[in-house]
Amino acid sequence: MTGFNGRTVLVTGASGGIGGAVVRQLAAAGAQVLAGGRSEAELAELATATGARPLPFDVTDEDSVRRAIEGLDLYGVVNSAGWGGDIETPQDADVQVFDKVMAINARGVLLVTKYASREMIRTGKGGSIVNVSSQASLVGLKGHIAYGSSKAAVDNITRVGALELGQYGIRVNAVNPTVVMTPMSAWYWGRPEVGGPFLEQMPLHRWASVEDVAAPIVFLLSDGAGMITGVCLPIDGGYTSR
Ligand SMILES: NC(=O)c1ccc[n+]([C@@H]2O[C@H](COP(=O)([O-])OP(=O)(O)OC[C@H]3O[C@@H](n4cnc5c(N)ncnc54)[C@H](OP(=O)(O)O)[C@@H]3O)[C@@H](O)[C@H]2O)c1
């Protein structure tokens, strides 16, 4: 793994399962990590364990995002903040849930990209943005009308971001993980009648760990991925390749 030599990387959702694993792997690889989330107490705990600097802000609030990011000398960003919403069909969807899922998962990624990319352009050293999307954007999953739509928007922000920011040496990629048993997913996918049939169809027949997801994110941030941009990379045990 390429070292980060003190480059500064912002990780949103750092207090979550996947974001926390990314922070730990980045700190071990020599990055200066800024840990984003809303819960100051959880960020403080992570800071003590990893040396990351807490950066509390709310991704749904444009002023909060701008205040947190303006003036930072950023090399990289991992957009991992997210919310699963509810399991709903199109015919019974609660549009308030849809709006909230879109505000956190899609609009939040856009807002962080908007302010972070400005600082990356100002710093003038290129950089790398990795968005945490989902397998739910690549295939239709029952009950995932809001969440899948929000992650499809994330994939589009990734592709358009790559197109617009490439001229500044800034790469933009996404990862599209299968289920990781964090609190976000365990309440639904942990049910045997839901998770069992799903795993049967997945070539690797197991859930992803947070480390399985964090390692490709760190790779996409690194110089080893210097020619990769605009990609949405499944980390799904082969599920979407069927
Ligand atoms: N778990 C899975 O199975 C899975 C699969 C595929 C993709 N993903 C995606 O991976 C990402 C991380 O998921 P996870 O499982 O690690 O989730 P998690 O453990 O539930 O963590 C979610 C994180 O998002 C932050 N967050 C939520 N709303 C926020 C807001 N308005 N402003 C700022 N931060 C906010 C939370 O921080 P606070 O609570 O402190 O605000 C927390 O750090 C998400 O984008 C998710 O959609 C997850």
Known catalytic residue: 151?
Answer: yes
| From 75, 151, 168, 239, active-site residue | 151
Residue 212 to residue 237: CA distance in whole angstroms: 10
In the sheet that holds 127-132, the strands lie side by side as 53-56, 32-37, 8-11, 76-79, 127-132, 170-177, 232-235
Q: How many CB atoms lie within 10 A of CB 204?
A: 13
pLDDT in tens, 168-210: 999 999 999 999 998 889 999 999 999 999 999 999 999 999 9
Does ligand 1 come within 6 angstroms of the Cβ of 179? Answer: yes
42-47 long-range CB contacts below 8 Å, 24 or more apart?
A: 42/15, 43/14, 43/15, 46/14, 46/15, 46/20
Does ligand 1 come within 6 angstroms of the Cβ of 16? Answer: yes
Does ligand 1 come within 6 angstroms of the Cβ of 23? Answer: no
| From 147, 168, 188, 239, active-site residue | 147
Does ligand 1 come within 6 angstroms of the Cβ of 183? Answer: yes
- Pair of tokens at residue 7: 């480059």
Residue 148 to residue 138: CA distance in whole angstroms: 8
**Is the overall model pTM greater than 0.85, yes or no?**
yes
- β-bridge partners, 128: 76, 171
* Cβ atoms of 186 and 208 closer than 8 Å: no
Question: Per-residue b/e over 77-86, b at no fewer than 16 CB within 10 Å?
Answer: bbbbbbbbbb
Please, what are the domains in the chain?
Answer: 8-235 (3.40.50.720)
Ligand 1 atom at shortest distance from the alpha carbon of 177: 6
Select from 93, 190, 196 the least CA-distant residue to 143. Answer: 93
Known catalytic residue: 125?
Answer: no
Q: Nearest 10 degrees: CA dihedral of 44, 37, 30, 182? A: 100
* Cβ atoms of 68 and 55 closer than 8 Å: yes
Query: What's the gap in Å between 16 CA and the centre of ligand 1?
Result: 5
**Phi, then psi, of 236 in degrees rounded to 5:** -135, 20
Query: What's the gap in Å between 167 CA and the centre of ligand 1?
Result: 30
- Residue 1 is predicted with a pLDDT of 44
pLDDT in tens, 36-93: 999 999 999 999 999 999 999 999 999 999 999 999 999 999 999 999 999 999 999 9
Sign of CA dihedral 224, 134, 140, 162: negative
- Residue 2 is predicted with a pLDDT of 56
Query: What's the gap in Å between 229 CA and the centre of ligand 1?
Result: 23
* Cβ atoms of 200 and 141 closer than 8 Å: no
- Residue 182 is predicted with a pLDDT of 87
Does ligand 1 come within 6 angstroms of the Cβ of 136? Answer: no
pLDDT in tens, 210-232: 999 999 999 999 999 999 999 99
- What single DSSP character describes residue 173? E
